[in-house]
């Protein structure tokens, strides 16, 4: 029970990586607060507290902060894709939507909860992507937003290091989640097969694999890694 009596906040908890992270922390004894726009479809027990709402809504986040008195670890996991659209096919509205969801929400919830994390000398884990490391992992909006997440994480890590708060970004590659279900369903799953073939390990990872990495990165054992953007991509960025 590595996280017994620890209080964790996870955005995007209702599915995919966020749900896997939620289950993993609960299995290690933590009390988990989950945020998602979508409904939570399963009962995860009395140590889990769900708040349905938009993490990019300032009023919602401020009200949430009043309900959560103590926080040790923040996992900014929520995010959206842009269907791999290039600049010429990206509307300004889509650009704003992707950056708002992937970046503004992270800024807002981190800023509001930072005093609690400072008090706990805890950890902040931000979900970046291989699209935050190299081009080709998404469209123009998504790639821009994830590069910004990586930069945000590095600067925040530098600022927080003297306070003994460690900040890390996780940069996953191909992870099989509901967010990329279309890759498996459209055109007979051609996109999913193509991505697997281009990945040196020749497969997609499962959300539970990212969750296990998260447990380590959130622990005291990873504190000296602060500022790192940790790739988890089956070798994609080694190419």
* Long-range CB pairs of 93-99, under 8 A, 24+ apart, other chains included: 94/141, 95/140, 95/141, 97/141, 98/141, 98/142, 98/144, 98/145, 99/141, 99/144, 99/145, 99/148
pLDDT (0 to 100) of residue 180: 84
Residue 224 annotated in active site: no
With respect to residue 155, please indicate whether it lies within any of the assigned structural domains: yes
With respect to residue 238, please indicate whether it lies within any of the assigned structural domains: no
With respect to residue 189, please indicate whether it lies within any of the assigned structural domains: yes
pLDDT (0 to 100) of residue 183: 87
What is the extent of the structural domain holding 165?
A: 7-232
pLDDT tens per residue, range 181-233: 888 988 889 989 999 999 999 999 999 999 999 999 999 999 999 999 999 99
pLDDT tens per residue, range 41-50: 889 999 999 9
With respect to residue 1, please indicate whether it lies within any of the assigned structural domains: no
With respect to residue 87, please indicate whether it lies within any of the assigned structural domains: yes
Domain count, the chain: 1
Domain of residue 192, CATH code: 3.40.50.720
Answering whether pTM is above 0.85, one says yes
Alpha-carbon dihedral sign for residues 36, 233, 175, 180 = positive
With respect to residue 210, please indicate whether it lies within any of the assigned structural domains: yes
pLDDT at 83 over 90: no
Q: Quick one: what percent of the chain has pLDDT higher than 90?
A: 91
- DSSP letter string over 30-71? -EEEEEESSPP-S---TTEEEEES-TT-HHHHHHHHHH----
With respect to residue 45, please indicate whether it lies within any of the assigned structural domains: yes
């Amino acid at each position: 029970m590595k996280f017994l009596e620890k209080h964790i906040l996870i955005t995007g908890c209702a599915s995919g990586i966020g749900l896997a992270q939620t289950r993993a922390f609960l299995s290690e004894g933590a009390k988990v607060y989950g945020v998602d726009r979508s409904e939570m479809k399963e009962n995860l027990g009395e140590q889990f507290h769900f708040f349905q709402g938009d993490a990019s809504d300032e009023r919602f986040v401020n009200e949430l902060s009043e309900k959560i008195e103590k926080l040790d670890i923040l996992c900014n996991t929520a995010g959206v894709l842009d269907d791999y659209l290039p600049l010429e096919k990206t509307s300004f509205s889509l650009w704003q939507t992707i950056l708002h969801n992937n970046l503004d929400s992270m800024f807002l919830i981190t800023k509001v909860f930072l005093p609690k994390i400072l008090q706990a000398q805890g950890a902040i884990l931000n979900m970046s992507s291989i699209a935050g490391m190299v081009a080709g992992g998404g469209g123009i909006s998504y790639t821009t937003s994830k590069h910004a997440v990586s930069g945000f994480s590095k600067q925040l890590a530098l600022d927080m290091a003297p306070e003994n708060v460690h900040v890390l970004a996780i940069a996953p590659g191909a992870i099989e989640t509901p967010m990329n279900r279309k890759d498996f369903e459209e055109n007979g799953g051609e996109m999913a097969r193509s991505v697997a073939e281009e990945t040196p390990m020749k497969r997609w990872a499962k959300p539970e694999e990212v969750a296990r990495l998260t447990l380590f990165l959130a622990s005291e054992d990873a504190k000296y890694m602060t500022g790192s953007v940790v790739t988890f991509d089956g070798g994609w960025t080694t190419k």
